[in-house]
Each structure stands twice: as structure tokens, then as C-alpha cells.
């Protein structure tokens, strides 16, 4: 049946409006400009956030920080655990239309592992770290095999690390005739539009992108986008960014200050989306200190803390307590890791009496650069006093605190570790020989042996068993007190649909649509 002319025109007009709306860029705030578009080279957190939209590697992190295939359609491991064979997906093309083959993987790997490139993660794969890749070969046009010197549970996670550029695969035309980095030509859902330094980075949709089936899943999964343009707007000042979001001049501020949450919540045009990230806030304990070498005093301090109250106040109600070095968002945060350590002042006082503690001052270092570290120190001081523990605070400049941390020169330190995406690395960040690395908090030879095993055994069930044993030992020794993992909150204009925060704390624009 022929539609009335007016209806045809109206339908066409509506479609045009919809297309115009969809063509609007998604404007996402960064607090500083990026450093480079060369993956894993001259990078910082903002650089990683942009490059996540431009580069794809063989594997990537899922929502729970486990590793899954991305450009690879299958991954097989030899019986001896030393050879990883990747078969590329059949439908892959670079943004210039060229197909992706095993020779492209070899090309990128050769450049990554050339010391002249300055790839951040070279030391992680050449034997200086936990992994040593001894050979990489193309078995056929779509199959690449990596051989390691010894089995490693960290190999796939290293390839996936955003600070390594995700070991992204790029076309040769990404380099100039002189071999220097030129521009990214890759397989991702976006490609570079314009980078106006100090102002914005514009990405545009890549019409040659081939999505995985299923749902969005961390940095892997289905990364389809209906956005024609994505703009990362550089706005260093937080109050300026807030004003821009409230005025509708940007669409997403992906890591807002807790102090601004109430104002955002009261605005009907703003929605908030939060996720627990994989850092940990903690109190480090120098176990070689004459007083704190007594585990009873360390346990008493832990039992003196009312973590639900402390964490609620420090995080302004956004976070929940966590006593494990493995953050709640990790796939390895199981029942044992989730068990809380509850406040018990009577037991704390009993342990102090048994240890002969007479109220001697214990100094805790903190700083005001990171407000949460200062706040948790002040609250811990008040709570410890109720158990009879006398804490004095030394407020240092952040650089001075870092120097003291690296030297192991402290009794207590209000502190925090940035995200570690593998459970072995969650323990490695504070476990080791103090004689070799004074910054290490937990000098337990048995724990070090277990940790080394966890870095070689890739089977998830066997690794979980090791993590559980480490957790038990950690709670017995109390070399540090884990308080919580932070929650990052994004403030988003209400006309934006599909934006989701996640455990790595970085923005993702795929799966997002706008209807301004």
C-alpha cells in the first residue's frame, strides 16, 4: 500500500533527525593531554585510556580481570606450558582495508622487542621479569606460536596489559619511511581523527571493524559502536570540568571527586555509574621495627580498626571494606578473600598486654596529596587510641613519603597500591626479601616460594588454591593492613545510554549511544 506523502516525509524527517543525533560526538573529559599514540611507549593513564579505543592485541582483559581472546579466535598451550599458539580470527582487517595476518603479529612484536623502540614492557618479556619469550614464529598465514623459557601464568596477562599498549597489532603504514611512529592503523572500533594538543583528541568510527559476538566484556568482547565520533576533551581543572558537564558541554566525566557526588545526584540531567576498581588502600607495617616485629602488636592494631566506619568515612560512602590484597573485582577474590576481619577491642587489648606494650608512640607516615591516605591515617589514629595504641602522624610531601617507602624507613605508613590485574602481582607488590628490596613489606620465604609457583601455574583452580594459602599466611603474619579498594564514579549526561564503569577504572565508549 502506498503511504501518504505527509507520512513519507515525516518518516524521512524522523530518520534524518535520528541520524543527526547519532552523528553527534560523545564528548569525554580527560584531565590532561595524552603523551603519545605509539602503544606502550611514552605513556600514562590518560594515554592508555585513549589507546584502548585504538589498539587491539591477541588477548585482552575481561570484566573480572581474567584474560580472554581478542584478535585471536583460539589459544592453545603445549603440555609443557612453554608454547602458546594463537590462531587469528578470519574476519580481521586494518582500518586501511588490508587483512590481518601472522606476519603483522611478527612485525609488531619485532618492533616492540627492539630496545630502540622504548616499549615499556620489554623487561617483562625478555627474562628480566617473570616471562622470557625465546622464539616467535608464524606457523601459517593465520597462526603464530610464542615459546617461553619456562611456563608462566603471567604471559597472557602481560600481553593484555593496557600500560603495554595491549601489545596491539598495527599495520606497517603506522610507521613512516624512516621507521618512526606515524599514526595508528589498526583493527579497533575507532581510528584517529584529529589530535589537537592540549585541546582534544577526536576519534572516528572504523568501518572496517569486525566485532566479536556476544556482549561487552572488559577490553574484549563485542566492542561495536554506533558513534560516528568520540572526542576526548582536555579539561585539567575539576571545577571547570564539573561546570562543563552540568552545562552540557561535555557528556562524561569518568572519574569525579567524591565531594561532588551529592551535587551530581541532585541534578536530574546527570546519572552516576560506579564500579569498584583494583587498587588497594592500606597501612604498611615495618616488621623489622623493634616494636612492630611482635605480631601480637600488629594484630592488635588490625583488630582496633572498625573498617566499615573507617572506609565509609574515607570514601564518603562509596566503598566497602576489603581485607585481602586481592581486590573484590578479581576473579580470584573468593570466599576466603571475602571474609572480613571484625573489630575486637577486648582481644586487641589482651594481645597488647601479652606483648608488653606500654603505650610507646608508634609513628605513621602520611601525606595530603592523596586525601584518602591522610583521612584513613587520622581515623586509624583515633580508633587505635581506643585500644590503647598511641599513634603519632608524620605528614610528609608525597615525594618524601615515596623515598621513605622505597627505603623501608618507617614504622607505619598510610599508603595505597595502584591496580594489579593478576593475583600473583597483587601479592608480589609487597612480598619479597627486604635485604634485596627494602620496600617489600612481607619478608616470608615460604610465601615467596608459593608466589613463585603461582607465577608459573596457569590452571585457574590450582592458582586459586595457592592464592588461598597465601591469604591464610598473610592474615597470620599481618605485614600490612588492607583497608579497601576504591570505587570510581562517572558522571554522565542523562541522554547518554550504555556507558558502564568497570574494574580498571578507565572509560569505554563502545556500546554507548547518545540522543541529544
Domains of the chain as residue ranges with CATH: 26-273+490-514 (3.40.190.10), 280-485 (3.10.105.10)
What whole-number distance in Å separates Cα of residue 205 and Cα of residue 207? Answer: 6
Residues of the chain where predicted confidence (pLDDT) is lower than 50: 1-22
Quick: pLDDT tens for 24-71. Answer: 899 999 999 999 999 999 998 899 999 999 999 999 999 989 999 999
pLDDT for the residue numbered 419 = 85
Kindly compute the dihedral angle of the four CA atoms of residues 487, 277, 512, 174, in this order, to the nearest 10 degrees: 140
pLDDT at 12: 40
pLDDT in tens, 242-263: 999 999 999 999 999 888 999 9
Phi, psi for 76 (deg, rounded to 5): -125, 150
Q: Which pLDDT belongs to residue 14?
A: 36
Radius of gyration of the chain measured on its C-alpha atoms: 25
Query: If you search the block for the grid coordinates 597470620, which residue do you land on?
Result: 476
Find out whether 490 and 252 touch, Cβ atoms under 8 Å: yes
User: Which residues, 6 or more positions from 111, have their beta carbon under 8 angstroms from its beta carbon?
Assistant: 117, 119, 175
Can you tell me which residue has the cell 606515524? 182
Where helices occur in 180-317 by DSSP H, the ranges are: 238-246, 261-265, 295-304, 307-314
**Rounded Cα gap, residues 110 and 461, in angstroms:** 34
Looking at residue 129, its pLDDT comes to: 85
Q: Give the span between the Cα atoms of 219 and 66, in whole angstroms.
A: 11
pLDDT value at position 23?
Answer: 64
Termini Cα distance of the chain: 34
Query: Can you tell me which residue has the cell 593496557?
Result: 162
Let me know: does 245 contact 499? Beta carbons within 8 Å. no
**Angle formed by the axes of helices 295-304 and 345-355, to 10°?**
160
- Nearest-10 Cα torsion for 247, 200, 504, 121: -170
- What pTM does this model have? 0.85
Res 342: pLDDT: 97
Where b means 16+ CB within 10 Å and e means fewer, 143-154 reads: bbbbebeebbbb
Amino acid at each position: 500500500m502506498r503511504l501518504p506523502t505527509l507520512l513519507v516525509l515525516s518518516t524521512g524527517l524522523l530518520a534524518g533527525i535520528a541520524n543527526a543525533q547519532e552523528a553527534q560526538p560523545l564528548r569525554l573529559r580527560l584531565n590532561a593531554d595524552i603523551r603519545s599514540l605509539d602503544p606502550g611507549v611514552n605513556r600514562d593513564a590518560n594515554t592508555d585510556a585513549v589507546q584502548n579505543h585504538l589498539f587491539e592485541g591477541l588477548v585482552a582483559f575481561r570484566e573480572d580481570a581474567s584474560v580472554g581472546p581478542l584478535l585471536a579466535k583460539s589459544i592453545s598451550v603445549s603440555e609443557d606450558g612453554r608454547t602458546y599458539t594463537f590462531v587469528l580470527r578470519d574476519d580481521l582487517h586494518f582500518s586501511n582495508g588490508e587483512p590481518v595476518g601472522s606476519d603483522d603479529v611478527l612485525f609488531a612484536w619485532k618492533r616492540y622487542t627492539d630496545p630502540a623502540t622504548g616499549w615499556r614492557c620489554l623487561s617483562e618479556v625478555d627474562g628480566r621479569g617473570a616471562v622470557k619469550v625465546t622464539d616467535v614464529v608464524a606457523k601459517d598465514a593465520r597462526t603464530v606460536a610464542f615459546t617461553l623459557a619456562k611456563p608462566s601464568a603471567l604471559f597472557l596477562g602481560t600481553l593484555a596489559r593496557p600500560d603495554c599498549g595491549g601489545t596491539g597489532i598495527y599495520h606497517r603504514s603506522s610507521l613512516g619511511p624512516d621507521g618512526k611512529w606515524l599514526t595508528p592503523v589498526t583493527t579497533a572500533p575507532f581510528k584517529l581523527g584529529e589530535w589537537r594538543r592540549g585541546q582534544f583528541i577526536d576519534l572516528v568510527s572504523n568501518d572496517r571493524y569486525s566485532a566479536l559476538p556476544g556482549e561487552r566484556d572488559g577490553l574484549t568482547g563485542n566492542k561495536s559502536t554506533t558513534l560516528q565520533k568520540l572526542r576526548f576533551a582536555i579539561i585539567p581543572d575539576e571545577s571547570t570540568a564539573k561546570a562543563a558537564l552540568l552545562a552540557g558541554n561535555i557528556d562524561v566525566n569518568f572519574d569525579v571527586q567524591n565531594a561532588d557526588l551529592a551535587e551530581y545526584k541532585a541534578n536530574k540531567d546527570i546519572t552516576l555509574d560506579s564500579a569498584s576498581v583494583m587498587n588497594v588502600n592500606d597501612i604498611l607495617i615495618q616488621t623489622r621495627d623493634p616494636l612492630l616485629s611482635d605480631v601480637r602488636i600488629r594484630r592488635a592494631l588490625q583488630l582496633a580498626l572498625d573498617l566499615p566506619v573507617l572506609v565509609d568515612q574515607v570514601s564518603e560512602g562509596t566503598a566497602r571494606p576489603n581485607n585481602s590484597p586481592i581486590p573484590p573485582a578479581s576473579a580470584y577474590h573468593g570466599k576466603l578473600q571475602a571474609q572480613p576481619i571484625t573489630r575486637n577491642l577486648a582481644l586487641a587489648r589482651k594481645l597488647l598486654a601479652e606483648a608488653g606494650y606500654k603505650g610507646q608512640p608508634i609513628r605513621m607516615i602520611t601525606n595530603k596529596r592523596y586525601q584518602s591516605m591522610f583521612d584513613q591515617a587520622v581515623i586509624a589514629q583515633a580508633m587505635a587510641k581506643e585500644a590503647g595504641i598511641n599513634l603519632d602522624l608524620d605528614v610528609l610531601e608525597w615525594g618524601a613519603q615515596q623515598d621513605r617507602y622505597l627505603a623501608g624507613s618507617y614504622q607505619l605508613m598510610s599508603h595505597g597500591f595502584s591496580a594489579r590485574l593478576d593475583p600473583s602481582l597483587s601479592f608480589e607488590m609487597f612480598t619479597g626479601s627486604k635485604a634485596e628490596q627494602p620496600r617489600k613489606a612481607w619478608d616470608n620465604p615460604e610465601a615467596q616460594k608459593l608466589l613463585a609457583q603461582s607465577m608459573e601455574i596457569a590452571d585457574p583452580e590450582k592458582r586459586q588454591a595457592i592464592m588461598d594459602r597465601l591469604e591464610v599466611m598473610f592474615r597470620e603474619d599481618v605485614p600490612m593492613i588492607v583497608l579497601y579498594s576504591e570505587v570510581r564514579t562517572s558522571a554522565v549526561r542523562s541522554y547518554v545510554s550504555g556507558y558502564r564503569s568497570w574494574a580498571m577504572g578507565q572509560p569505554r565508549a563502545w556500546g554507548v549511544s547518545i540522543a541529544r
